[in-house]
Structure 1
Amino acid sequence: MKGTFIKIRGKSLYVEIHGNEEAPPLLYLHGGPGESCYEFMIHQADRLSEKLRLISMDQRGVWRSEAIEEDEPLTIYDLVEDCEQLRRQLGIQKWAVLGHSFGGLLGVLYAIHYPNSVSSLILEGPSFDLIKSIRNWLRKAASLYESIGDAEKMAACIDIANGAQTPPEILDAFIELGQGLGDLRMKVYTPNGGSNYTKMIYSEREREEFGRRTNIHVSKIFAEGRIFDSLLPKLKELTLPVLLIKGRHDPIICEEQTDSFVNDVRNGHLKVYEESGHLLHFEEPERFAMDVIQFILESNHN
């Protein structure tokens, strides 16, 4: 089974399933908010499905999933509840969860709210505290602006990174300064600039519609505001096996957040990829798949 649509709490969500039905199940949660599972599945579906039953979805209102209308509500906990309802509809007793970036935040919330549904948790470059992640991102962006001789934008990055602005103001600056980097923006995330990360099969018209849906999704998640709440105090509530995979050059999972994970997650494990950044599933795909599979199989065995 590959791409299909499954009705979850009144909306048709795009779901992909790869691998043997008897293999240990793994749910992948994409980042963003407002990205999709598209790129991850390009780079990891074949690799992970050799040993696992890989399940992914475009989150509610995102990309190929049914659109959310302007007058419909959407919260982070709607996204968490969708995970649980999908598990029940697929008849899965318990599954591992892998979250990338914003998906890592969702994975933590899901594991805390439904501890009997999640067997193990893998976090790829997660953000436990969005504001700390953005501030760290801006410090790295400042060095790129310096490299191209844009002293004004470099100073703006440093000012926001070290200032006392409100979360919405910090977010607005992050968006504006990210756009200002143009083609250099991906170099904040990964040393190689993310070349060949996306191999698009959809038409321009389809991508425009996907973008429209995603914009509604993103605006509602940020308007709700819970995305700005730090999860660092909640890490102590995780009791299941948790693997944090971090790229040394990743601006999102900063050192402060990494230290909190190491100190507070009682059954936590850390792997650092020294040459990579935020897109480990793309930058080191073979190693990433091997580490994920090994961790899930060992966790299930124990």
Structure 2
Amino acid sequence: MKLLSLTIAFTLTIFINKVQAQEENVVESQGVNIHYTTFGEGSPILIINGGPGFSSEGFIPLAKEIAKQGYQTILYDQRGTGKSSMERMDSSTITMDWMVEDIEAIRKKMKIEEWVVLGHSFGGIMANYYTAQHPSHVKAMISSSSGGIDLALLGNAQSDLYSKLSETELDSMRYWGARRRAGDSTEYANKQFAKYMAPAYVYNRKHIPVVAERLTQGNMTLNRLVWNDLIRIEYDCKPKLRSLNKPVLIIQGKNDIISEDLAFTADSVFSNSKVILLDSCGHYGWLDQPVDYFSNIFRFLEQVEEHSENVKQVKLVLQDYIQSIYISDSSMVETIADSTLQKSGHYYSPRRKTWSYENMDYEELQHTAATYNRKQWLPEWAPAEIEIYEVKEKVASAKVKAIWGFDYILLSKKNDQWIIDKVLWQSYTADEQQEYFRKLKGIWELNNTSQKE
């Protein structure tokens, strides 16, 4: 496929900046000064604009609109664009991996543990790739007219765009495109090409002029470098993102140049996602249907905050579950476990070298908590690892690793309180225990020595 089709499919930033940035910052990333701007205060939301090859300037109004709802929005110029200028742009300096490092540099400088990532069009591709590399730092993701989770877009990018143009518009765009390829680099030729391509991006034709103006502002050399790298790495985030349990909103117009198939493919991969298709809407939801676009995003963000609080509460319950046994405090069991608790599992006897199956109810868990470490035999490096699998409105699942083995736990939310409902556990084998405990003890001794120094 010609690179023209790649350029056509992703020329994405369209707003004109008419306001002063709240706060501008720069962070060094792999020899490049990455410029970023923050708006508002609250939970952080990283906004990744489309392109590639366009600055973030056009997304300032979008960032400010979201910030008005009590969030801190973060815009950044991708390497080689806007104020994130570079002396040398080639296949060694413009790669998806370097662009991920740029995002991480911003996150680390801002000391953000996790944030919501909103990616529009190519920005959606970037958001997918970043999340696949750093899922623990992503609280939730918003895919706005995203270019997809793999390279399926390339199969129909040109035809999808052409189908949105009238015969006159298509003929005129092809004419000016041929003029440009023949060497006509005049501003007039560029504007004419953009003028006839812009209608493909919007449902309401009153937005054509602002889109056409923005289409003339991209760096096509950088655009080609990024697409070449996506092809080189065989971009496909499906394998890594199948295990992502964070909330994902997939939103785009029903008249978008981006096929709905890409949205539903992504939805089939994510375990906690939903698709919103906006009526009478093209590639830019905030232009064609601003009320529906923003209301869906704000509703999703409210749900994300609720989900985040639920995850926090589930983690606290699991921490208390382990600690109730470690510190011999049976009273903690009353606040973390249901009275109908069912706990069962497999215990391996190193002496007999056999497995046995055991059951435990609520009262027996209280007894265990009171007596297990009564003689204070537990080492300081005793494990207390928690892995949360999924948290829904009323149920949650997780795994904990403790001194006795590992538990698979189901929790339920009753009367606004998360409690443990069922536990299935297994003790360590002799070999597992020896190897695992040896590592834990080594880590503890290393950390303890470092703290003393």
- TM bucket (normalised to shorter chain) is 0.7 to 0.9
1:59 aligned partner: 78
2:247 aligned partner: 241
Q: 1:189 aligns with which of 178, 196, 201?
A: 201
Q: 1:124 aligns with which of 137, 141, 144?
A: 144
The answer to whether the aligner puts 1:251 opposite 2:257 as a matched pair is yes
1:16 aligned partner: 37
Query: Residues 175-214 of structure 1 correspond to what in structure 2 (within 5 A)?
Result: 182-193=194-205, 194-195=207-208, 197=210, 214=219
The answer to whether the aligner puts 1:104 opposite 2:156 as a matched pair is no
1:14 Cα deviation (Å)? Answer: 1.7
Query: Residues 1-302 of structure 1 correspond to what in structure 2 (within 5 A)?
Result: 1-20=22-41, 23-42=42-61, 44-50=62-68, 51-70=70-89, 73-128=93-148, 129-130=150-151, 132=153, 135-142=156-163, 144-147=165-168, 150=171, 182-193=194-205, 194-195=207-208, 197=210, 214-224=219-229, 225-226=231-232, 229-232=235-238, 235-252=241-258, 254-302=259-307
Distance 1:142 1:36 in 2: 28
Change in Cα spacing, 1:180 to 1:229, as seen in structure 2 (3 Å) is farther
Distance 1:62 1:35 in 2: 6
Change in Cα spacing, 1:250 to 1:9, as seen in structure 2 (3 Å) is same
1:93 Cα deviation (Å)? Answer: 1.2
Q: Which secondary structure state, in structure 2, belongs to the residue aligned with residue 32 of structure 1?
A: coil
1:199 Cα deviation (Å)? Answer: 11
1:38 alignment partner AA: E
1:97 alignment partner AA: V
Distance 1:249 1:123 in 2: 16
Q: Deviations over 1:198-233 (max 9, x none)?
A: 699xxxxxxx9x85xx34432332333347634455
1:204 aligned partner: none
Contact 1:125 1:245 (C-alpha < 8 Å) held by counterparts: yes
Structure 2 segments unaligned to the other structure (5+ residues):
1-21, 176-189, 308-453
Change in Cα spacing, 1:130 to 1:264, as seen in structure 2 (3 Å) is closer
Structure 1 segments unaligned to the other structure (5+ residues):
155-177, 201-207
Change in Cα spacing, 1:34 to 1:227, as seen in structure 2 (3 Å) is farther
Distance 2:153 2:127 in 1: 18
1:114 Cα deviation (Å)? Answer: 0.6
Q: Which of the two has higher C-alpha Rg?
A: 2
Contact 1:281 1:288 (C-alpha < 8 Å) held by counterparts: yes
Distance 1:151 1:131 in 2: 28
Moved more, 191-200 or 263-272: 191-200
1:123 alignment partner AA: S
1:283 Cα deviation (Å)? Answer: 2.7
Moved more, 275-284 or 191-200: 191-200
Q: Which secondary structure state, in structure 2, belongs to the residue aligned with residue 144 of structure 1?
A: coil
1:26 alignment partner AA: I
2:292 alignment partner AA: R
Q: Which secondary structure state, in structure 2, belongs to the residue aligned with residue 80 of structure 1?
A: helix
Q: Deviations over 1:261-294 (max 9, x none)?
A: 2322210111111111111133333433332233
Change in Cα spacing, 1:255 to 1:227, as seen in structure 2 (3 Å) is farther
1:275 alignment partner AA: S
Distance 1:149 1:231 in 2: 33
- Larger relative contact order (Cα-Cα within 8 Å, sequence gap ≥ 6): 1
Distance 1:97 1:152 in 2: 34
Change in Cα spacing, 1:53 to 1:7, as seen in structure 2 (3 Å) is same
**Residue-pair matches, total:** 265
Give the alignment's TM-score, normalised by structure 1: 0.76
Change in Cα spacing, 1:268 to 1:64, as seen in structure 2 (3 Å) is same
Contact 2:173 2:197 (C-alpha < 8 Å) held by counterparts: no
Contact 1:112 1:237 (C-alpha < 8 Å) held by counterparts: no
Distance 1:199 1:181 in 2: 9
Distance 2:201 2:155 in 1: 12
Change in Cα spacing, 1:13 to 1:198, as seen in structure 2 (3 Å) is farther
Q: Deviations over 1:81-130 (max 9, x none)?
A: 21112101101111000000011011111111111100000000001144
Contact 1:25 1:54 (C-alpha < 8 Å) held by counterparts: yes
Moved more, 286-295 or 267-276: 286-295
Contact 2:254 2:282 (C-alpha < 8 Å) held by counterparts: yes
